[in-house]
Protein backbone atom coordinates (compact mmCIF):
# COMPACT_ATOMS: atom_id res chain seq x y z
CA UNK A 1 0.00 0.00 0.00
CA UNK A 2 1.34 3.44 -0.97
CA UNK A 3 2.19 5.64 1.99
CA UNK A 4 -0.21 8.58 2.29
CA UNK A 5 0.78 12.19 2.88
CA UNK A 6 -0.85 14.20 5.68
CA UNK A 7 -3.25 15.84 3.23
CA UNK A 8 -4.16 12.56 1.56
CA UNK A 9 -4.77 11.02 4.98
CA UNK A 10 -7.00 13.99 5.89
CA UNK A 11 -8.99 13.51 2.68
CA UNK A 12 -9.49 9.82 3.51
CA UNK A 13 -10.48 10.66 7.09
CA UNK A 14 -13.04 13.29 6.04
CA UNK A 15 -14.50 10.87 3.50
CA UNK A 16 -14.93 8.32 6.29
CA UNK A 17 -16.40 10.89 8.68
CA UNK A 18 -18.78 12.03 5.94
CA UNK A 19 -19.57 15.34 7.68
CA UNK A 20 -17.87 18.69 8.44
CA UNK A 21 -15.31 17.99 11.16
CA UNK A 22 -12.75 19.72 13.34
CA UNK A 23 -9.00 19.12 13.05
CA UNK A 24 -9.16 17.03 16.25
CA UNK A 25 -11.91 14.82 14.82
CA UNK A 26 -9.96 14.37 11.58
CA UNK A 27 -6.82 13.56 13.57
CA UNK A 28 -8.68 10.95 15.62
CA UNK A 29 -9.99 9.26 12.48
CA UNK A 30 -6.49 9.24 10.95
CA UNK A 31 -5.16 7.51 14.07
CA UNK A 32 -8.09 5.10 14.20
CA UNK A 33 -7.52 3.95 10.62
CA UNK A 34 -3.72 4.30 10.82
CA UNK A 35 -3.72 6.47 7.72
CA UNK A 36 -0.61 8.43 8.72
CA UNK A 37 2.02 8.22 11.47
CA UNK A 38 2.79 11.62 13.01
CA UNK A 39 6.15 12.37 14.56
CA UNK A 40 5.51 15.94 15.71
CA UNK A 41 5.08 16.97 19.36
CA UNK A 42 1.77 18.64 18.49
CA UNK A 43 0.37 16.58 15.60
CA UNK A 44 -3.04 18.29 15.64
CA UNK A 45 -1.36 21.67 15.02
CA UNK A 46 0.66 20.18 12.15
CA UNK A 47 -2.49 18.67 10.67
CA UNK A 48 -4.38 21.93 10.99
CA UNK A 49 -1.63 23.85 9.14
CA UNK A 50 -1.93 21.42 6.23
CA UNK A 51 -5.72 21.65 6.30
CA UNK A 52 -5.52 25.45 6.24
CA UNK A 53 -2.92 25.47 3.43
CA UNK A 54 -5.28 23.42 1.27
CA UNK A 55 -8.44 25.28 2.29
CA UNK A 56 -10.19 27.53 -0.25
CA UNK A 57 -10.61 30.31 2.35
CA UNK A 58 -6.86 30.51 3.11
CA UNK A 59 -4.74 33.40 1.84
CA UNK A 60 -1.31 32.49 3.21
CA UNK A 61 1.76 33.16 1.09
CA UNK A 62 2.52 29.43 1.30
CA UNK A 63 -1.00 28.24 0.51
CA UNK A 64 -1.33 25.25 -1.79
CA UNK A 65 -2.36 25.85 -5.39
CA UNK A 66 -4.78 22.95 -5.43
CA UNK A 67 -7.44 23.25 -2.74
CA UNK A 68 -8.92 20.18 -1.12
CA UNK A 69 -11.01 21.56 1.75
CA UNK A 70 -13.42 24.31 2.72
CA UNK A 71 -14.83 25.49 6.07
CA UNK A 72 -18.36 26.20 7.23
CA UNK A 73 -19.51 29.00 9.56
CA UNK A 74 -18.55 26.91 12.60
CA UNK A 75 -14.95 26.53 11.39
CA UNK A 76 -15.37 22.83 10.53
CA UNK A 77 -13.58 21.36 7.50
CA UNK A 78 -15.28 19.51 4.67
CA UNK A 79 -14.11 18.10 1.35
CA UNK A 80 -14.09 19.89 -1.98
CA UNK A 81 -14.43 17.74 -5.07
CA UNK A 82 -11.05 18.08 -6.72
CA UNK A 83 -8.71 15.64 -8.35
CA UNK A 84 -6.07 14.10 -6.05
CA UNK A 85 -3.05 16.26 -5.35
CA UNK A 86 0.46 15.58 -4.19
CA UNK A 87 1.58 16.97 -0.87
CA UNK A 88 4.45 19.45 -1.09
CA UNK A 89 6.95 19.22 1.77
CA UNK A 90 9.06 22.03 3.18
CA UNK A 91 12.74 21.66 2.36
CA UNK A 92 15.80 23.02 4.15
CA UNK A 93 17.85 25.26 1.88
CA UNK A 94 21.61 25.77 1.85
CA UNK A 95 20.92 29.48 2.31
CA UNK A 96 20.64 30.47 5.97
CA UNK A 97 18.51 33.49 5.01
CA UNK A 98 16.06 31.25 3.17
CA UNK A 99 15.83 28.97 6.20
CA UNK A 100 15.16 31.91 8.55
CA UNK A 101 12.43 33.14 6.19
CA UNK A 102 10.94 29.65 6.27
CA UNK A 103 11.00 29.64 10.09
CA UNK A 104 9.22 33.01 10.18
CA UNK A 105 6.63 31.77 7.70
CA UNK A 106 5.99 28.65 9.78
CA UNK A 107 5.76 30.81 12.92
CA UNK A 108 3.12 32.98 11.23
CA UNK A 109 1.18 29.88 10.23
CA UNK A 110 1.36 28.45 13.75
CA UNK A 111 0.11 31.74 15.17
CA UNK A 112 -2.79 31.75 12.70
CA UNK A 113 -3.51 28.13 13.60
CA UNK A 114 -3.56 29.02 17.30
CA UNK A 115 -5.94 31.92 16.61
CA UNK A 116 -8.28 29.56 14.78
CA UNK A 117 -8.11 27.02 17.60
CA UNK A 118 -8.98 29.69 20.16
CA UNK A 119 -11.94 30.87 18.10
CA UNK A 120 -13.10 27.28 17.51
CA UNK A 121 -13.03 26.70 21.28
CA UNK A 122 -15.05 29.85 21.96
CA UNK A 123 -17.78 28.57 19.64
CA UNK A 124 -18.12 25.46 21.80
CA UNK A 125 -19.04 27.55 24.87
CA UNK A 126 -22.59 28.19 25.95
CA UNK A 127 -23.58 31.91 26.22
CA UNK A 128 -23.17 31.95 30.02
CA UNK A 129 -19.82 30.14 29.71
CA UNK A 130 -18.66 32.73 27.19
CA UNK A 131 -19.59 35.52 29.61
CA UNK A 132 -17.55 33.86 32.36
CA UNK A 133 -14.67 33.42 29.94
CA UNK A 134 -14.79 37.14 29.08
CA UNK A 135 -14.73 38.04 32.77
CA UNK A 136 -11.58 35.95 33.31
CA UNK A 137 -10.01 37.37 30.15
CA UNK A 138 -10.61 40.97 31.25
CA UNK A 139 -9.22 40.23 34.71
CA UNK A 140 -6.06 38.74 33.20
CA UNK A 141 -5.79 41.79 30.96
CA UNK A 142 -5.75 44.12 33.97
CA UNK A 143 -9.35 44.96 34.87
CA UNK A 144 -10.32 44.72 38.54
CA UNK A 145 -13.37 43.53 40.48
CA UNK A 146 -14.97 42.07 37.38
CA UNK A 147 -18.18 40.12 37.87
CA UNK A 148 -20.90 38.65 35.67
CA UNK A 149 -24.31 40.31 36.07
CA UNK A 150 -27.49 38.34 36.61
CA UNK A 151 -29.11 37.57 33.29
CA UNK A 152 -31.89 40.01 32.44
CA UNK A 153 -31.17 42.39 35.33
CA UNK A 154 -29.00 44.95 33.51
CA UNK A 155 -30.19 44.93 29.90
CA UNK A 156 -27.26 44.23 27.59
CA UNK A 157 -24.63 44.43 30.34
CA UNK A 158 -22.98 41.05 30.98
CA UNK A 159 -19.82 41.93 32.91
CA UNK A 160 -18.86 44.99 35.01
CA UNK A 161 -15.70 46.13 36.76
CA UNK A 162 -12.96 48.74 36.91
CA UNK A 163 -9.84 49.70 34.96
CA UNK A 164 -6.96 51.75 36.38
CA UNK A 165 -5.90 54.49 33.93
CA UNK A 166 -3.10 56.59 35.39
CA UNK A 167 -4.32 58.00 38.70
CA UNK A 168 -7.99 57.55 37.81
CA UNK A 169 -10.28 54.53 37.73
CA UNK A 170 -12.83 53.87 35.00
CA UNK A 171 -16.09 52.08 35.71
CA UNK A 172 -16.55 49.74 32.73
CA UNK A 173 -19.25 47.45 31.39
CA UNK A 174 -18.95 44.68 28.83
CA UNK A 175 -21.38 42.89 26.58
CA UNK A 176 -20.41 39.40 25.40
CA UNK A 177 -22.04 37.85 22.32
CA UNK A 178 -21.15 34.37 21.11
CA UNK A 179 -22.27 34.81 17.49
CA UNK A 180 -21.61 32.66 14.43
CA UNK A 181 -19.15 34.04 11.87
CA UNK A 182 -21.98 34.99 9.51
CA UNK A 183 -23.85 36.90 12.23
CA UNK A 184 -22.08 40.26 12.51
CA UNK A 185 -22.66 42.78 15.27
CA UNK A 186 -24.49 45.75 13.73
CA UNK A 187 -24.94 49.44 14.48
CA UNK A 188 -28.23 48.95 16.40
CA UNK A 189 -26.46 46.46 18.70
CA UNK A 190 -23.84 49.08 19.59
CA UNK A 191 -26.45 51.82 19.99
CA UNK A 192 -28.53 49.64 22.32
CA UNK A 193 -25.51 48.75 24.43
CA UNK A 194 -24.47 52.41 24.67
CA UNK A 195 -27.98 53.31 25.79
CA UNK A 196 -27.75 50.69 28.57
CA UNK A 197 -24.48 52.08 29.97
CA UNK A 198 -24.69 55.83 29.21
CA UNK A 199 -24.47 57.87 32.41
CA UNK A 200 -23.46 54.95 34.64
CA UNK A 201 -20.19 53.77 33.07
CA UNK A 202 -17.17 55.57 31.62
CA UNK A 203 -16.34 52.89 29.04
CA UNK A 204 -18.04 50.02 27.27
CA UNK A 205 -16.49 46.88 25.81
CA UNK A 206 -18.31 44.78 23.24
CA UNK A 207 -16.80 41.29 22.81
CA UNK A 208 -18.00 38.88 20.15
CA UNK A 209 -16.80 35.67 18.53
CA UNK A 210 -17.78 36.99 15.09
CA UNK A 211 -17.08 40.49 13.71
CA UNK A 212 -18.55 43.99 13.39
CA UNK A 213 -20.17 45.74 10.46
CA UNK A 214 -18.55 48.95 9.23
CA UNK A 215 -21.53 50.93 10.55
CA UNK A 216 -20.96 49.44 14.01
CA UNK A 217 -17.29 50.46 13.88
CA UNK A 218 -18.23 53.98 12.79
CA UNK A 219 -20.40 54.63 15.87
CA UNK A 220 -18.16 52.91 18.44
CA UNK A 221 -16.40 56.21 19.21
CA UNK A 222 -18.79 59.13 19.02
CA UNK A 223 -18.24 62.63 20.42
CA UNK A 224 -20.17 63.25 23.62
CA UNK A 225 -21.00 59.56 24.09
CA UNK A 226 -19.39 56.85 26.17
CA UNK A 227 -16.74 55.09 24.01
CA UNK A 228 -17.26 51.44 23.08
CA UNK A 229 -14.19 49.24 22.57
CA UNK A 230 -14.88 46.58 19.94
CA UNK A 231 -13.21 43.17 20.25
CA UNK A 232 -14.03 40.55 17.62
CA UNK A 233 -13.02 36.89 17.74
CA UNK A 234 -9.72 37.32 15.93
CA UNK A 235 -8.75 40.39 17.98
CA UNK A 236 -9.60 38.52 21.18
CA UNK A 237 -7.35 35.63 20.14
CA UNK A 238 -4.55 38.05 19.13
CA UNK A 239 -4.67 39.73 22.55
CA UNK A 240 -4.59 36.34 24.28
CA UNK A 241 -1.46 35.42 22.34
CA UNK A 242 0.27 38.79 22.86
CA UNK A 243 -0.53 38.84 26.60
CA UNK A 244 0.06 35.13 27.18
CA UNK A 245 -3.51 34.63 28.41
CA UNK A 246 -4.26 30.92 28.13
CA UNK A 247 -1.42 30.53 25.61
CA UNK A 248 2.04 29.03 26.16
CA UNK A 249 5.11 29.60 23.98
CA UNK A 250 8.08 27.44 23.00
CA UNK A 251 11.51 28.95 22.39
CA UNK A 252 13.29 27.22 19.52
CA UNK A 253 17.05 27.99 19.11
CA UNK A 254 18.20 29.16 15.68
CA UNK A 255 21.85 28.42 14.96
CA UNK A 256 24.18 30.35 12.67
CA UNK A 257 27.87 29.59 12.19
CA UNK A 258 30.23 32.56 12.78
CA UNK A 259 33.94 31.76 12.44
CA UNK A 260 34.95 34.92 14.36
CA UNK A 261 33.40 33.49 17.51
CA UNK A 262 35.69 30.43 17.50
Residue 13 placed within a domain: yes
pLDDT at 88: 41
User: Looking at the structure, do residues 203 and 141 belong to the same domain, yes or no?
Assistant: yes
Residue 256 lies in a domain: no
Residues 60 and 135 in one domain: no
Asked if residue 234 and residue 134 are part of one domain, the reply reads yes
Q: Are residues 230 and 170 in the same domain?
A: yes
Same-domain pairing of 136 and 188: yes
Which range marks the domain in which residue 71 is found?
6-89
Q: How far is CA 87 from CA 52, 66, 189, 221, in A?
A: 13, 10, 45, 48
Residue 223 has pLDDT above 80, yes or no: yes
Cα distance between residue 201 and residue 194, in whole Å: 10
The answer to whether residues 54 and 146 belong to one domain is no
Last residue within a domain, chosen from 42, 61, 89 = 89
Number of domains comprising the chain: 2
- Mean pLDDT (the chain) is 84
155: domain CATH number is 3.40.1350.10
> Is residue 84 domain-shared with residue 147, that is, in the same domain?
no
For 71, phi and psi rounded to 5 degrees? -130, 145
Q: Model confidence over 83-93: pLDDT tens digits?
A: 343 444 455 55
Residues 143 and 232 in one domain: yes
Domain boundary among 37, 59, 89: 89
Helix H or strand E segment including 14: helix 6-17
Domain's final residue, options 34, 68, 89: 89
What 119-124 contacts at long range (C-beta under 8 Å, 24+ apart), as own/partner pairs, is 119/75, 119/209, 119/233, 119/234, 119/236, 119/237, 120/22, 120/75, 122/178, 122/209, 122/233, 122/236, 123/74, 123/75, 123/178, 123/180, 123/209
Task: Based on the fold, state whether residues 137 and 78 are members of the same structural domain.
Answer: no
Residue 212: inside a domain: yes
Entry pTM? 0.61
Are both 84 and 185 inside the same structural domain?
A: no
Q: pLDDT of 131-182, one tens digit each?
A: 999 999 999 998 998 888 876 555 679 999 998 887 888 999 999 999 888 8
Amino acid sequence: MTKLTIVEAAVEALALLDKPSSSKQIYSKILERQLYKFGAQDPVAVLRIQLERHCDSTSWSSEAKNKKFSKNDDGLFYLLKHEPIREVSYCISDSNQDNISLVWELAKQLKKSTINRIIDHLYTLEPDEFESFCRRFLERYGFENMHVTQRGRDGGIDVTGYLEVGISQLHVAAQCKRYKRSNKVSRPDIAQFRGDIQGDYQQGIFITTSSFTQEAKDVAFKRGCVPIVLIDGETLAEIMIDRGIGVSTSNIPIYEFEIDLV
